[in-house]
Chain A
């Protein structure tokens, strides 16, 4: 017996003995690797396809291209119709009345905040803003069906996720003003929220980059779920628009999520537009949902204006995602982007005003839930009026408070690039401080917490 053979044998014994891997109880994953790597060999008389790339395929003698145009479109799941009527009364809505009212209030809060902030940007008091109009149901509904410890990755039109998880109006406003109380320390553009307590990672402007992050985070959660089976099992959830789904990162993420079987829910907000680009210029398949099957991922299309459908879909997706140690799920939530893409966009340059007005009138998640609430005598005009005026006041108070705050300390321009300040950075801080000191009229440092002194602690350290 050669040394090579002996050593391999020893390795295998070691594997089934003391386990070196994270979870001690999965011998199935430790079968000798050469076997798992090897494809299946075919025999001369095989009747069944044995190509390693598609093991379940049958032979056929008919030459038929699969024509996507001949396939039926994936149906859109809904629980209530646009009049707020429940379609299958036996199943119902599995949402408590109190919960429905709370969700409604949050949706209204979000839309009131959006209206006011959009206006504030128009007045030049904010540099930038993006509204969620028409998509409040997707973010708030799905967030309400997740566990608070589930890790969320957002694109930028998911302020509702933050709101539903407990992000306060003051938190939103501090970020929008990038003041000294901003979580992001004044580094990010408005709307790029983040929160450690709420388990939501900070938004970055780069589209779709968060999708593979969610897959990787879900893998970390999978391993942590295995290590601590008694704790709450967690999933990662990732939001993105249908435009972002054209990025390579979407493809990469769903594929790796499937091959690693991670507990991740991918939620696509298909609102019909990526800035000016309509979906007909974005893709030719059956939306985003039709891609799920190609990656081997459980997929559902949902009416994003139906809060009950969004909630039920998310709940079931969460259970599914935690099945068998983990598996990814894709949900395409259909909606219409009622607002402009952002404050830097005038959407009437590429779509008819009447189309938008139609959508506003015809159907949106807030009025649909209101119809349901009213049909159950849970809501009336007086309550509506009170809620809207009260929320308006709340938002404006938070807005004014945030506007008054100082800007963050100048030190935040330099720290956190690396864990520690580098020698090069110290030299740069010294140089910058020196320039500002010698040209005091050229810079306004008073608005910043601590003024130029905010840099003092950074210039100490070793000689450059």
Chain B
């Protein structure tokens, strides 16, 4: 089909492709060069390799061996896709199977600034997949109303950094709708709010934030953060099917970087279960989203250097979260570290650490350590120092084991 040497025509077509950012907000696309700034002699930092990381399913067999998948999926086909394609496939399946599903947000119609909604408007019509005016409070409020009248809207906030204009709608309306409606039964549980979040290496103040802790302080919401394409597809489909409103935060650095074998057919992953990614017996690391890759690299180095065995847990659903899996693990290992990108104070780590302290106090051999963003903003040039990296996780492992 395509010749080996690209013609001039193909080249110009490539340059005209709409993936070139159109909107000033989309100048920061996820790129797989987060650690390009690591020091030349770095042994720990710079070692996150998406091609070989054990977190991703590099073979079809690995992907299909997941016991959470139903038998018909495990006997089915997989294909190798990245995270944004997985999101796209989940949205496509939802649109196909439920005519109440609507997909909208800023710049959705041409495919989205991260390509998550590619071809959906063309295939399902602009009544169901459409652009909204540039107003986060407006589009979330609109979604609430549509959900309250029986639709299942999947609204997109272009970056999690821009969710704050919609904070009132999310905190006071989305989260409280069912409760305050009482026996009238009205609710906006069909609602999913997707938003790209987390660091990309050069997102500075407003393309880097992970505001999940703000939503975990709101009863009535579910907060979900997938770590990989398989998780993104399965968790997003569950989020759309779920009758509670879901904040679905997609780590944007993984959109293109995380590529794995994903079951071709639709499947659903539980919204109330953490997952033990790697078993171990000396220490438990609890994390979610992008830092799992950092943790995994740090664990590989620490296990080699220190001869220890570390358990890695992906929370997946940040709220309501699976205390049981975390506590079972910590009771076994006696040591715990929580890792996340957003700042430490009152972050998700505070809740996890406090719960471990309360429920596993007698089993603890060391204080629960938190590796999180420092109490500052992510100034452009300082991101690598602020966001937890492999070295900091490695050091936390060392300190906790030595305690």
Contact = CB atoms under 8 A, between A and B. Distances in A.
Bound pair (A, B): yes
14 contacts: A2-B10, A3-B1, A22-B128, A33-B121, A187-B182, A201-B184, A215-B138, A216-B145, A252-B139, A255-B138, A412-B182, A416-B178, A419-B244, A422-B320
Contact of B149 (A221, A255, A259, A417): A221
Nearest to A185: B182
Contacts of B324: 423, 463-464
Q: Which of A151, A412, A416 counts the most chain B CB atoms within 10 A? A: A416
B226 interface: no
Contacts of A93: none
B127 A212 contact: no
A29 B132 CA distance: 16
A184 B184 CA distance: 7
Interface in A151-200: 151, 153, 182-188, 192, 194-196
A58 to B, nearest CB: 26
Contacts, number: 215
A23 B127 CA distance: 9
Interface in A235-266: 236, 248-249, 251-253, 255-256, 259-260
Contact of B145 (A22, A194, A212, A259): A212
A212 B182 contact: no
B123 A11 contact: yes
Interface of A: 2-4, 11-12, 14-15, 19-23, 26, 29-30, 32-34, 36-37, 151, 153, 182-188, 192, 194-196, 201-202, 204, 206, 209, 211-221, 223-224, 226, 236, 248-249, 251-253, 255-256, 259-260, 412, 416-419, 422-424, 463-464
Contacts of B139: 252, 256
A204 B151 contact: no
Given A209-B172, A218-B145, A22 B125 contact: yes
A32 B153 CA distance: 23
B320 A248 contact: no
A304 B148 CA distance: 30
B168 A196 contact: no
Contacts of B151: 219-220, 223
Contact of B182 (A21, A37, A182, A221): A182
Nearest to A6: B1
A71 B143 CA distance: 37
A219 B168 contact: no
B186 A194 contact: yes
A418 B176 CA distance: 9
Interface in B143-192: 143-151, 153, 165, 168-169, 172-173, 176, 178-187, 189
Given A187-B180, A201-B148, A236-B145, A252 B135 contact: yes
Nearest to B169: A209
Contact of A201 (B168, B176, B181, B220): B181
B210 interface: no
Contacts of B135: 248, 251-252, 255-256
Interface residues of B, number: 66
Nearest to B153: A216
B181 A202 contact: yes
Interface of B: 1-2, 10, 13, 18, 95-96, 99, 102, 109-110, 119, 121-128, 130, 132-133, 135, 137-151, 153, 165, 168-169, 172-173, 176, 178-187, 189, 219-220, 222, 243-244, 272, 320, 323-324
A249 B138 contact: yes
B138 A26 contact: no
Nearest to A7: B119
Contact of B122 (A15, A26, A195, A418): A15
B179 A417 contact: yes
Given A22-B125, A212-B169, A416 B145 contact: no
A196 to B, nearest CB: 4
Contacts of B142: 212-213, 215-216, 219, 253, 256, 260
Given A21-B127, A219-B146, 14 more contacts: A11-B123, A33-B109, A184-B182, A194-B184, A202-B186, A213-B145, A216-B146, A217-B148, A417-B219, A418-B222, A418-B320, A419-B244, A423-B320, A464-B323
A379 B125 CA distance: 56
Interface centre among A23, A33, A216 (most CB of B within 10 A): A216
B173 A248 contact: no
A206 B172 contact: yes
B133 A249 contact: no
B181 A21 contact: no
Contacts of A195: 184
Contacts of A256: 132-133, 135, 138-139, 142
A216 B182 contact: no
B143 to A, nearest CB: 6
A30 to B, nearest CB: 6
Contacts of A151: 149
A166 to B, nearest CB: 14
A30 B130 CA distance: 12
B216 to A, nearest CB: 11
Contacts of A251: 135, 138
Given A187-B179, A419-B244, A220 B146 contact: yes
A256 B102 CA distance: 15
